[in-house]
Chain A
């Protein structure tokens, strides 16, 4: 069977010189159990999987990190700096993540507000510059501000990750105009990160022409995370294919699909 995406000639997603077979990136947080997480990630078809850096819990007799469940040979592990509120902390977490020895990529988050988890773009730029200087491939989680996206690209980021809506909100793509503006002006990949709630959100987001989507809660908090992961995989492919196909122009009046000629008297 030929799928729509094979019909469409599309180059694979390439970030920081590495090529990935899927435009859907998924997180590993908040799943009800590890087995569900593993099956959902499998169903999503994702190649890039995000992880967080945290203290080992010394009070438990058998602490199981995420690597106990995820094969780092099968998935590209993208460490984040989630929970960091200063550039200094984010740099510290990124260095620790790199030392774990998988790759030099980091999903850089510098959060500026506890309630909305919106990025502190000043701290983000500062941390991005430091990490790029140290040889990191920085994927910067940012808001949908074009100017900041341009600055992040200037700073040497490998990808810019504007939000669809706040982390964990599931509100979908709130500002398609700004995301399109960023995509139009930025050379490095634009990966929309955070806020996608369901498959239609993912599809609409991909239809804006962005290079990929990263999501976590939309899968983990679905009633059936594995089924939602499958839906998201299809939605991302459909949205990408629709973007490449080029949609028809919008019209305010109807246009018949059947010929106006040849009607009976």
Chain B
């Protein structure tokens, strides 16, 4: 087929146009987030003392840390779906979540502690925590990948890693409502582990499916 004829076919197809990637991603999250909420409620449930825990700033800080990861990851994912986009200064947005976590760690260090450090790290549910966050993140990662396939990222693995971080941040936001361990040391260990696992998984999947 010569190029002029291909162009003719492309021009004839001008009225078929996909929705922007941001819209696609929003729709994917609208579908997957309720699924993940239901998964959490049916299996683990939210912690029984949820209402009183909200008065504990370390409990609230968990949501701040996870959303500070998820929201920048969403924004950067949409940005990277453009072919000419690069990570550039946007990567600094990803430091917001670790920064909040470090502030929380420092605050906790300065307070008198009832439990020794290792006990706070291991907490009550460390074996469950990372696995549960990973499982809750998977549907979100799947939805995000389907949406981001409409994009044209120049570095598919990086775009995939961002989708992994997005899903981990959102999955962890749900899990935090169940999680009875509020120490920032616990969060810094097990939530971070889950986020790294999801980022690696996202990068591996992204390098395959986000190529265009």
A complexed with B = no
Interface residues of A, Cβ cutoff 8 Å to B: none
